[in-house]
Amino acid sequence: MTQQTWDEVGGVLPHDEFRAASEAIVANIEQVIEGKTATVRLALAVLLAEGHLLIEDVPGVGKTKLAKALARSIDCSVRRIQFTPDLLPSDVTGVSVYNQETHDFEFRPGAVFANLVVGDEINRASPKTQSALLECMEERQVTVDGVTYQLQTPFMVIATQNPIEMEGTYPLPEAQRDRFTARIAMGYPGPDAELAMLDGHGAADPLQELRPVSDADTVRRLIATVRNVHVADAVKQYAVDLVTATREAPDLRLGASPRATLQLLRTARAVAALEGRDYVLPDDLQALAVPVLAHRIIPTADAQLARRTTDAIVAELVHRLALPPDRKRPTGYDTPRPAAGNGRPPFEPRRP
């Protein structure tokens, strides 16, 4: 059977089918992750934006559980990599092995040959091993011994890392961080959510009972629907202005890349689709600015001494940058449909 490559997706789903499929995935993940609807929906938005997700937070808040719950909610190939200091690049990409029967080398695929790749504690592997993900994350292909192998679609890398414990770890290089569409933090659960967690997780792990509610073909059609979401010229200009502001900010010595602009727009399309719209609003870009841009920028030494975080710097730039004068829906496009569940927007911008 021919594999679906990155640029081959299915047909567009009707609005009702899109909403039903996406909400089923969110509800399934929330059987494991309590009280983190916005985080769960953002993780799904990154998948539908054809991006990759970096989950960075303190130990024990459910980083790996979120990654595994998203993977298990979709009936597709899933591989998990536990990144350790002795992990080799060939363990990730694959290796050519000599077959004594055929007297020839044959390729044995590595862990990246899957639809969803869960990389646990990615910063514990050496930079050499981390770099094995560069080609597959950007180009959706793997080259070994001069032969290029295309990866399937959907393809997503969900990596976790602990920002507190630095001993025995290797910071992700900027080229690696820039390939992650968004960086999210789980945060501690609220008291009610933690109490519900004690009831639901105290006797058994609900992750073990989780069953797929979608499949790879449906996800491909969800992606095709997101690709068709309209973006007005004024919204595109606002995205460019927002990213340009990071390059000109005096508190930053490295601003966001053009790749960041593209991924910001792609994720905004996914957010709009999940909210029931077929067009992007500037508000979508505002809400996504911190998770999509903050991990790509580097503050100056003075900003670091002042303990200014990249999240706070991006949030301040969003606050200062003027919105397009016309924020109404474009003519000829559907009116917004209310968000499912409690009716609240699925994403909220962080405040400095």
Q: Where are the domains of the chain?
A: 10-227, 233-320
Quote the pTM value: 0.87
Of 131-140, 152-161, 236-245, 333-342, give the lowest mean pLDDT range. Answer: 333-342
Report the percent of the chain where pLDDT is more than 70: 89
* pLDDT surpasses 60 at 115: yes
Query: What pLDDT, on the 0 to 100 scale, is given for residue 243?
Result: 97
Please give the pLDDT value at position 8. Answer: 59
Q: Is 321 exposed, middle or buried (0-12, 13-18, 19+ CB in 10 A)?
A: middle
Cross-strand pairs, 159: 54, 119
Q: pLDDT band at 332, cuts 50/70/90?
A: low
**What is the per-residue pLDDT across 337-347, written as a single tens digit (0 to 9) for each?**
434 344 434 45
Q: What number of other Cβ atoms are within 10 A of residue 8's Cβ?
A: 13
Calculate helix-pair angle for 15-29, 258-274, nearest 10 degrees: 100
Q: pLDDT digit string (tens) for 177-223?
A: 999 999 999 888 888 888 888 887 777 788 888 999 999 999 999 99
Pairing outcome for strands 116-120 and 53-56: unpaired
CATH of domain 233-320: 1.10.8.80
Give me the pLDDT at residue 244, please.
96
pLDDT in tens, 1-50: 344 544 556 688 999 999 999 999 999 999 998 889 999 999 999 999 99
Query: In sequence order, what DSSP letters do the residues of 276-325 get, joined into one string?
Result: T-SB--HHHHHHHHHHHHGGG-EE-HHHHHTT--HHHHHHHHHHHSPPPS
The architecture that CATH gives domain 10-227 is 3-Layer(aba) Sandwich (3.40)
Chain segment 233-258, per-residue pLDDT in tens: 999 999 999 999 999 999 999 999 99
